[in-house]
Amino acid sequence: MDNTRLTAVVMMIIYCFLKCINASPLDNEDINEEDTTPICINQMGKKLHYIPQGQFSIISANFAYNVIEELPPYVFYKNLYKNLEILVLSHNRISNIDAEAFRELRQLRKVDLSSNNITHLEANVFRQSHRLERVDLSFNNIITDPEKPLFKSQSVQTLILAYNQIVNVYDITFARLPNLQILFLDNNLLFYLSPNCFVHLRHLQYVSLSNTNVFKLTNSMFKTIPRLMDLSETPLAKKFEPPLRKVRSGQLVKLMDIEEYISDLDDS
């Protein structure tokens, strides 16, 4: 090989090396943006510590059963997942979710964050996900704050909070989820429900309080009664014979009147 060809080869190697080390996670020269074929990826059980780079056509991503501990700012946008509709992150070790973690995920509809170490969410964490319908936070360590909403969303309809560390539900807890329809609070330590904790939820259809310590409901708790409430295995349910299970709206109105009567008897 003559010196001219050798020099050309060396220069090409150097050029490729510099191009690689200077590449940004947002560089998309190698991504075919014209390929809009939807892709679903499965990265379960890969021992991932972080979100790997993807591509714009991915609409569903499953990262369950890995060892991810945190979701930093713009983590999905930077890694080219901006068109995600379904995101599964269950059974990881996530304890820290930055307020900007889901930024630019405008197509997101479902998020599964179950079975992690999450204690709270930043109020605005889903503020750009205007299509978000379902959030699963079950099997975490969620607690409620008397001064802050759990999070804010105009679109979320289903919220799963079963198997957490929730003791109290305050007036503010769900106040910024106006379109919530289905709420699971079962299998928490819950014993106190603020009298106004559901008054903002005008579309509420179903609430599960099963296997909690709830012992009292009040008429002021609901402006619109949910169509169905699961009270199985609660102290309140056990006041009745046979014990209550799932109670429909008409029964619930009567139940609250009867329960107040029972409470008056207990106090006398």
Tell me the average pLDDT across 50-55: 96
* Cβ burial, residue 251 (10 Å; 0-12/13-18/19+): middle
User: Which runs of E-coded beta strand occur in the chain?
Assistant: 39-42, 58-62, 70-71, 86-88, 96-97, 110-112, 134-136, 158-160, 168-169, 182-184, 192-193, 206-208, 228-230, 246-248
What is the model's pLDDT at position 226? 73
More confident residue, 103 or 33: 103
The percent of residues in the chain predicted with pLDDT above 70, rounded, is 76
Query: What is the rounded distance in angstroms from the CA atom of residue 246 to the CA atom of residue 204?
Result: 15
The overall pTM is greater than 0.85:
no
More confident residue, 210 or 215: 210
3-state helix, strand, coil in the chain (%, to 5): 20, 15, 65
pLDDT-derived band at 230, boundaries 50, 70, 90: confident
What is the model's pLDDT at position 75? 97
Tell whether the model's pLDDT for residue 24 goes beyond 80.
no
The residue type at 176 = R
User: Which runs of E-coded beta strand occur in 8-129?
Assistant: 39-42, 58-62, 70-71, 86-88, 96-97, 110-112
The string of pLDDT tens digits covering residues 152-197 is 999 999 999 999 999 999 999 999 999 999 999 999 999 889 988 8
The token duo for 41 is 């990826």
